[in-house]
Chains A and B, each alone.
Chain A
């Protein structure tokens, strides 16, 4: 017979996570702050939830960082930044930004539908429309605001947004803001998409991603498109992690599968492969005209800084003019995949430049992250609720700018630490 279990007054920080602090029992909105901070202030000094550690160099293959636990300045191999084509710090991009700073000043100083649109914004939209082979492209101030503005502009209460269960928060939040009915289908599962679509009537939008950011896996676009078309649903494809990377010309997963015309709404961002900031919607002129009036996240935001816009425009020109950047990226990806396989590292279902390094131990992931940092490798722990329980992982992002030596050093550190800690046998 076991003895009675007494209530504990102290907590193990890892018994809780962000999702534990969504509601409180009081009528005071601030009442959640004290229990949350009680947890947070215990968790951080113990080395947990050390996010937002400040970098003091460009997001190159090697970076300087102030680590969060002891505030030490460290030099690290960087496998964490997006910057898939290494364009964020290219000399031509920096010079384009500097020239725009001289010409326009720092900011756009207005909404894009009022005084915030400058000729550089129009140049970027036109260049992107030519690249994407679409009638029109609309630029948004961030990738997040792109999906939020796009979906909430088009969908209405009573309509249906059917999204992949791993869809980005911006898709989810856009759907919530639209007040449409929302259903999620099982990740990359056309049969479950069909099951969900069968239950709906009226206007339907299927929202999917080209490559999913946490698992690095591609969507089965042909199968999903076939199901969506069967039920008369429009298709939104977010290519945040696949635009400028996938396809013979870099036009994304839709180009890879030859389905650019079947996808109704093409979403992308400038913060990944182009190393800048902002997002875009590519589609018809009619869609552009409607979004201009109804995409509130754009209408009520200041336009993208002309400095960033000019830099992104130059990065786009380079991405088009230098297909060897994609060739180098995929060569690096193949090298990384080979090295990780040699070391026996579990990379889940990845087929892209994003490799989840599956640790599958929520209790140890932060400790491992700090040991990697001490050993000279910058990787971010990713834990529930960003990913499923016990599917904690580090996320490796490979760039064309990585040298083979940097990739090899990163894998060596990773494998050594995982082996020393018993994660790799």
Chain B
């Protein structure tokens, strides 16, 4: 829900994410030059694939699929430190209203079709199937580890024709993450993911994350002067 001071809340049943390595030259091809990709290994950047199952938000129930690149956060003395930072370069939602809200409010770049997100909740694992009018986009499976309540702070960097922006995002809920390499992803050849076809993405996530019964809070959007245009 929106508050008068610009914070916006989104409640979700499940949020899952996987971090996948891919060559840094492919990351740099779409990152604004001021953003530095995080490299777990020299020459390897991180593709983050996340999916949300929102049940209470300013735009009601909806699902969301987010493709991002991990970038270096902006760390400043005296300010709370983000756990990590993302550059979302392609999102898709299950409803038009949620898509228009995210574009207008957060300047997030969207695939302009309503997609379908199917969630398969198993014993110790969870899988999403993202499709567009029956055409598969992404299938991703993550596995659980130990659960604990957390409140994590992240940064997101966005840019569009109007400018460059950042927002702090706080994620609170029951959280599990692991690097046991038990999950997986299939990225299908489809319009939303066409960009990834030549990216040489590793199909095993080196980190799997899962948050249950959580709350995502967007802090007020800030305009950045430093990279208003690429």
Residues of A within 8 A of B (CB): 1-2, 4-5, 7-9, 11, 15-16, 20-26, 31-32, 34-35, 38-39, 165, 172, 175-176, 181-184, 186, 199, 361, 385, 388-391
Q: Is the C-beta of B60 less than 8 angstroms from some C-beta in chain A?
A: no
- Complex: how many Å from CA A24 to CA B43? 20
Q: Which residues of A contact B77 (CB under 8 A)?
A: 31, 34-35, 38
CB distance from A238 to the nearest CB of B (A): 17
Is A23 touching B75 in the complex (CB atoms < 8 A)? yes
Q: Is the C-beta of B83 less than 8 angstroms from some C-beta in chain A?
A: yes
Is A7 touching B204 in the complex (CB atoms < 8 A)? no
Q: For this complex, into which size category does the number of interface residues on chain B fall? A: 35 or more
Is A5 touching B215 in the complex (CB atoms < 8 A)? yes
B interface SS class: loop
Q: Which residues of A contact B215 (CB under 8 A)?
A: 2, 5
- Complex: how many Å from CA A24 to CA B72? 8
Partner of B206, one of A21, A38, A388: A388
CB distance from B109 to the nearest CB of A (A): 23
CB distance from B5 to the nearest CB of A (A): 9
Q: Which residues of B contact A182 (CB under 8 A)?
A: 41-43
- Complex: how many Å from CA A15 to CA B102? 29
Q: Is the C-beta of B179 less than 8 angstroms from some C-beta in chain A?
A: yes
Q: Is the C-beta of B187 less than 8 angstroms from some C-beta in chain A?
A: no
Is B170 touching A176 in the complex (CB atoms < 8 A)? no
Is B41 touching A391 in the complex (CB atoms < 8 A)? no
Partner of A176, one of B23, B42, B152: B42
Q: Which residues of A contact B168 (CB under 8 A)?
A: 7
Partner of B74, one of A2, A25, A186, A361: A25
Given the interface contacts A22-B72, A23-B75, does A390 sit within 8 Å of B178 by beta carbon?
A: yes
Q: Which residues of B contact A15 (CB under 8 A)?
A: 81, 83, 152
Q: Is the C-beta of B56 less than 8 angstroms from some C-beta in chain A?
A: yes
- Complex: how many Å from CA A183 to CA B168? 33
- Complex: how many Å from CA A131 to CA B44? 39
Given contacts A38-B77, A181-B43, A390-B145, 15 further A-B contacts (CB under 8 A): A1-B56, A2-B172, A4-B217, A7-B170, A15-B152, A16-B81, A22-B72, A24-B76, A25-B76, A172-B41, A176-B42, A184-B41, A199-B200, A388-B207, A390-B146
- Complex: how many Å from CA A4 to CA B207? 28
Q: Is the C-beta of B80 less than 8 angstroms from some C-beta in chain A?
A: yes
Q: Is the C-beta of B73 less than 8 angstroms from some C-beta in chain A?
A: yes
Given the interface contacts A4-B7, A182-B42, A186-B204, does A24 sit within 8 Å of B179 by beta carbon?
A: no
Q: Is the C-beta of B9 less than 8 angstroms from some C-beta in chain A?
A: yes
Residues of B within 8 A of A (CB): 1, 3, 7, 9, 11, 21, 23, 36, 38, 40-44, 56, 72-77, 80-81, 83, 145-146, 151-153, 168, 170, 172, 177-180, 200, 202, 204, 206-207, 215, 217, 219
- Complex: how many Å from CA A25 to CA B222? 15
- Complex: how many Å from CA A252 to CA B1? 63
Is B151 touching A390 in the complex (CB atoms < 8 A)? no
Most A-side CB within 10 Å, residue of B9, B42, B80, B204: B42
- Complex: how many Å from CA A11 to CA B146? 22
- Complex: how many Å from CA A298 to CA B23? 31
CB distance from B51 to the nearest CB of A (A): 20
- Complex: how many Å from CA A385 to CA B170? 23
Q: Which residues of B contact A24 (CB under 8 A)?
A: 74-76
The 3 closest A-B pairs by CB, nearest first: A23-B72, A388-B179, A25-B74
Given the interface contacts A4-B9, A7-B170, A24-B75, does A389 sit within 8 Å of B80 by beta carbon?
A: no
Is A389 touching B75 in the complex (CB atoms < 8 A)? no
Q: Which residues of B contact A186 (CB under 8 A)?
A: 202, 204
Is B41 touching A175 in the complex (CB atoms < 8 A)? no
CB distance from A360 to the nearest CB of B (A): 8
Q: Which residues of B contact A31 (CB under 8 A)?
A: 77
- Complex: how many Å from CA A182 to CA B11? 42
Is A390 touching B179 in the complex (CB atoms < 8 A)? yes
Is B9 touching A25 in the complex (CB atoms < 8 A)? no
Given the interface contacts A34-B77, A390-B179, does A5 sit within 8 Å of B43 by beta carbon?
A: no
Is A5 touching B217 in the complex (CB atoms < 8 A)? yes
Given the interface contacts A9-B80, A184-B44, A390-B145, does A4 sit within 8 Å of B75 by beta carbon?
A: no
Is A20 touching B81 in the complex (CB atoms < 8 A)? yes
Is B43 touching A7 in the complex (CB atoms < 8 A)? no
Is A23 touching B73 in the complex (CB atoms < 8 A)? yes
- Closest-by-CB residue of B relative to A25 is B74
CB distance from A38 to the nearest CB of B (A): 7
Is A11 touching B80 in the complex (CB atoms < 8 A)? yes
Q: Which residues of A contact B36 (CB under 8 A)?
A: 23
Is B179 touching A21 in the complex (CB atoms < 8 A)? no
- Complex: how many Å from CA A176 to CA B73? 23
Q: Can you show 22 pairs from A to B with CB atoms below 8 A apart?
A: A4-B3, A4-B7, A4-B9, A4-B217, A5-B151, A5-B217, A7-B170, A7-B219, A11-B80, A11-B81, A22-B72, A23-B75, A25-B74, A25-B76, A175-B42, A186-B202, A199-B200, A388-B207, A389-B207, A390-B177, A390-B180, A391-B179
CB distance from A18 to the nearest CB of B (A): 13
- Complex: how many Å from CA A183 to CA B72? 21
- Complex: how many Å from CA A244 to CA B204? 36
Q: Which residues of A contact B41 (CB under 8 A)?
A: 165, 172, 182, 184
- Complex: how many Å from CA A347 to CA B119? 36
- Complex: how many Å from CA A36 to CA B77? 9
- Complex: how many Å from CA A246 to CA B177? 37
CB distance from B187 to the nearest CB of A (A): 16
Most A-side CB within 10 Å, residue of B41, B44, B83, B180: B41
Q: Which residues of A contact B177 (CB under 8 A)?
A: 389-390
Is B73 touching A8 in the complex (CB atoms < 8 A)? no
- Complex: how many Å from CA A183 to CA B43? 7
Is B179 touching A389 in the complex (CB atoms < 8 A)? yes
- Complex: how many Å from CA A25 to CA B227? 13
Given the interface contacts A22-B72, A182-B42, does A35 sit within 8 Å of B179 by beta carbon?
A: no
- Complex: how many Å from CA A11 to CA B153? 11
